[in-house]
Structure 1
């Protein structure tokens, strides 16, 4: 009789509804789970993915014929998959039970926290801002190229009066044309990016990458993304492309990978060499320096934003941990100096925030 009763377990139905399928990291989502079962008694559980914090309610329960559960979770940055609902169907006598899975798979995406960042152009000094490339072609720009004979239509402000007086004829200054080039943001996901109390180095990297992409797109530049696991997303513009970048940044996880693997693919790709590349890396290993060198030697203009793992880990641990952090930071500073031979390097104390980082690079 019990076996005959349990044979009806394949008629179990379940559904799950999320209040939102996309949320900003740290946001809360409400989930409603409903289960119908021909059995008189069953127990069900919605399995909460690792990394989510249960902040209210219960994701399961016991019911007769029909049951419902309502609960809330808080989501750090990431992509979370809710598998089918687990239902344990019990016969009326309590002698036997069988587990079935019902319902559909759901996905929750927690995006990096957006930041209002409108940095001044050229925050690193006299060089063109990241994403602006000087071309050896006559045009309106800021970089002096040469002195030439005056041509009808040249504005008076471009007349070189000293050269005119010396040569006895009108001479004009010529400048290199500067135009906005494409920008590719490379995000490091090597083991050093897992460091951090609460927010990891990779969390800081993702926020900075999204903020830079938004700022540069707002100024008319096309922006792309490259990282291990997501491949190369070629530069483009528009709100849909920015959302695509945000989704990919949400999916990044630290792993046993090398930044030079991504750099090697980029160096051998058909990416235009006037594309500016921003590498976001903690610079924890010599491999990161090799990656920057590979990109520079391939003809790209490279900038490096380096979040300090020591500042992400600061304030916690005993003397041994603090000594290890200081030692690692000394080594990292040496690696940053090596990388500065091939790129403009910004050392980022993450406690200063994302706005500072974006202002220092863009």
Structure 2
């Protein structure tokens, strides 16, 4: 609850959803000041007695009585004395994008007020879909007024930073205009699609999970032959290799557990038109990984890369979704360096890579080639930016066909490094996956 003391200092007691004590210092507002009309009235009340004194016309003093009476009434009845308490209420701090969110402003004056204008400062990126963030209140002392309106949420972090409050008495003698700092942060999280997991499971034994694990242990999938270690069971001794080398050799098997998954989101500036689609697809596949109990990590390849190490669980899922919510296209021309470096030092061995990129730049295409050559299994979710545009003339339609042919040839060339899902964003991602993978 933010208290605005008219003509005094604002106070900031802590309320959930507002600033904790001491986090921000609020400067004193100017308060309510007399208007020019009131100043003229006061000057007239002094000028008339002075003129009467010099002219010795004491009957002119009676002309002062209406002015004095009006000034007294203004001070006694209409000059504000007290505080106006204002606080903002939103249901919670996270919403799905495109969701309509109701915002409430509560106003409680400690004095009678006839004309109190309150305007909430809505973030520019949010669209007001109903109601009005500005309202004029006429309230008695202690009466609560509520301003309601609805905004359409967009992906990202949005800050409501303040409220503009204006006061004017009925006769226009006192007025005040102050910006009250009232901070509320809301986060628009990406929508999540119902899509299948496009990981290839061919040739694996499914027990706990659908994908092979890099961990070695007891299992059914042969991995390698190594030297026998004390404590190994006799049944894993490879007698042929032992006879050939003269040393006791043992078979090593692959444990049938779930593979680690790394999601790589290409957030370079060239991908701005389809970045929201990339983020939604990444969040959807993260939910699939969460439901399957699969551990996963996130590389958000922005100008300053963001790496979230491989982990599992709901807390980890929501942390990754929060980072996806803040993703913005940046001047990132070094995605190749970012991915190559992390693939060598941070990516789990034999991890499944899910790469979200329209593959528009040479850097993004080279990244796919490097991942494939390093031995990672790569699935590319590639939203087609051309599908966002509808040609309006015959010439544009021919040009669009040529661009599409070039893209298809490029994707066919890159398909040697990973499984590429070319996604027409006008269609559901589930349909695009089904065209490539039998689900």
The alignment's TM-score, normalised by the length of structure 1, stands at 0.74
- The 1-side partners of 2:316 and 2:298 are apart by 10
- The 2-side partners of 1:310 and 1:91 are apart by 59
RMSD: 4.1
Give the deviation of 1:116 after TM superposition: 3.2
Structure 1 residues 22 and 134: CA distance shift in structure 2, 3 A: closer
Give the deviation of 1:185 after TM superposition: 0.4
1:55 alignment partner in structure 2: 129
Q: How does 1:249-288 map to 2 (within 5 A)?
A: 249-258=324-333, 259-260=335-336, 262-267=338-343, 269-288=345-364
The alignment status of 1:132 with 2:199, answered yes or no, reads no
| Comparing 279-288 and 85-94, the one that deviates more | 85-94
Q: Is the 8 A contact 2:198 2:433 kept in 1?
A: no
Q: 1:216 aligns with which of 289, 294, 304?
A: 289
| Comparing 37-46 and 127-136, the one that deviates more | 127-136
- The 2-side partners of 1:291 and 1:179 are apart by 28
Q: 2:320 aligns with which of 245, 248, 252?
A: 245
Give the deviation of 1:143 after TM superposition: 6.8
The alignment status of 1:232 with 2:281, answered yes or no, reads no
2:97 alignment partner in structure 1: 25
1:344 alignment partner in structure 2: 419
Give the deviation of 1:279 after TM superposition: 0.8
Give the deviation of 1:16 after TM superposition: 0.9
- The 1-side partners of 2:384 and 2:184 are apart by 36
- The 2-side partners of 1:47 and 1:272 are apart by 46
Give the deviation of 1:349 after TM superposition: 2.7
Q: Is the 8 A contact 1:42 1:62 kept in 2?
A: yes
Structure 1 residues 83 and 286: CA distance shift in structure 2, 3 A: same
Q: 2:180 aligns with which of 96, 99, 102?
A: 102
- The 1-side partners of 2:218 and 2:275 are apart by 41
| Comparing 64-73 and 88-97, the one that deviates more | 88-97
The alignment's TM-score, normalised by the length of structure 2, stands at 0.63
Q: Is the 8 A contact 2:421 2:433 kept in 1?
A: no
- The 2-side partners of 1:328 and 1:83 are apart by 45
1:14 alignment partner in structure 2: 86
Higher relative contact order (CA 8 A, sep 6+): 1
Q: How does 1:324-339 map to 2 (within 5 A)?
A: 325-339=400-414
Q: Can you give the 5+ residue segments of structure 2 that lack an aligned partner in the other structure? A: 1-32, 39-74, 226-232, 237-250
Residue 306 of structure 1 aligns to a residue whose secondary structure is strand
Deviating 4+ runs (over 6 angstroms): 7-10, 127-131, 143-146, 151-154
1:163 alignment partner in structure 2: none
Aligned length: 334
The alignment status of 1:34 with 2:106, answered yes or no, reads yes
User: What per-residue deviation string (whole Å, max 9, x for no partner) do you get for residues 68-100 of structure 1?
Assistant: 310112223333222211223447665886542
Q: Can you give the 5+ residue segments of structure 1 that lack an aligned partner in the other structure? A: 155-172, 196-200
| Comparing 40-49 and 130-139, the one that deviates more | 130-139
Structure 1 residues 332 and 260: CA distance shift in structure 2, 3 A: farther
Larger Rg: 2
User: What per-residue deviation string (whole Å, max 9, x for no partner) do you get for residues 134-164 of structure 1?
Assistant: 6696753457979xxxx9879xxxxxxxxxx
Q: Is the 8 A contact 1:289 1:338 kept in 2?
A: no
